Amino acid sequence: MRLLVIEDDPDLNRQLVEALADAGYAVDRAFDGEEGHYLGESEPYDAVVLDIGLPKMDGLSVLESWRRAGKTMPVLMLTARDRWSDKVQGFDSGADDYVAKPFHMEEVLARLRALLRRATGHASSELTCGPVRLDTRSGRVSVGGNPVKLTSHEYRLLSYLMHHSGRVVSRAELVEHLYDQDFDRDSNTIEVFVGRLRKKLDCEVIQTVRGLGYLLVAADEV
């Protein structure tokens, strides 16, 4: 999953990016509304953490512009304001959830997990496909009850496929959603990680759809 953090405070921006990266997400960042607005319009993010009080272009204006343009990615608003009227204005502008500063980082992570689940039609924090189980809270993966150790890139790949299980995901989509801007986006990298993931899972859940991409499906559904 690829996220965007738009926060003008350098320390808080860094803390958010580090926490999200440690949680297994690919993360891009922006420090003002204009830069964040451009990234949100031009890149396919799975969710955005957006501060309201931004220089150059405030967060509400950024969000309203995205929504007018048809951008539907979940947005978690951050603000130092705690008046109920500000929360209402945020939701009416198109926000999906709201956290007031100061906040606990674990709350931000939990709210983002919930937004990502709902956006892909999942109600539980545990995603399953056949014998494969992924716990989005702990980042743990198991097959048939046995734990499987994955690298951060392998985990991102499996998590994205499991969030979008039942539909074909193209290599281009995986490249766009698994890696931040600075990563060397070689499409062959996806094939390498898929191969490694198949070996570690040791079960037929990742199907290759020739010419289209990959499909995650339980073996008994093939």
Can you give the residue range of the structural domain that contains 79? 2-119
The verdict on 112 and 137 lying in the same domain is no
- Collapsing DSSP states into helix, strand and coil, what is residue 187? helix
The verdict on 15 and 98 lying in the same domain is yes
pLDDT value at residue 187: 57
**b/e for 193-216, b at 16 or more Cβ within 10 A?**
bbeebeebbeeebbeeeeeebbbb
The verdict on 146 and 80 lying in the same domain is no
Between CA 74 and CA 216 the distance in angstroms is 23
Single out the residue in 103, 119, 135 at which a domain terminates: 119
**Average pLDDT value for residue range 147-152:** 92
Is the pLDDT assigned to residue 181 strictly greater than 80?
no
* Residues 93 and 67: beta-carbon distance below 8 Å: yes
Token pair for residue 32? 């003002």
pLDDT value at residue 15: 97
Single out the residue in 119, 137, 153 at which a domain terminates: 119
The verdict on 114 and 168 lying in the same domain is no
pLDDT value at residue 186: 63
Query: If 0-12 CB within 10 Å is exposed, 13-18 middle and 19+ buried, where does residue 65 land?
Result: middle
Q: Grade residue 222 by pLDDT with cuts at 50, 70 and 90.
A: very low
182 or 25, greater pLDDT? 25
186 or 86, greater pLDDT? 86
pLDDT value at residue 160: 93
Query: What is the pTM (predicted TM-score) of this model?
Result: 0.81
Indicate which CATH number applies to the domain containing 93: 3.40.50.2300
Single out the residue in 67, 101, 119 at which a domain terminates: 119
pLDDT in tens, 44-63: 999 999 999 899 999 999 99
Number of domains the chain contains: 2
Nearest to 36 by CA among 18, 53, 21, 11: 53
Angle between helices 171-178 and 187-201 (to 10 degrees): 90
The verdict on 66 and 43 lying in the same domain is yes
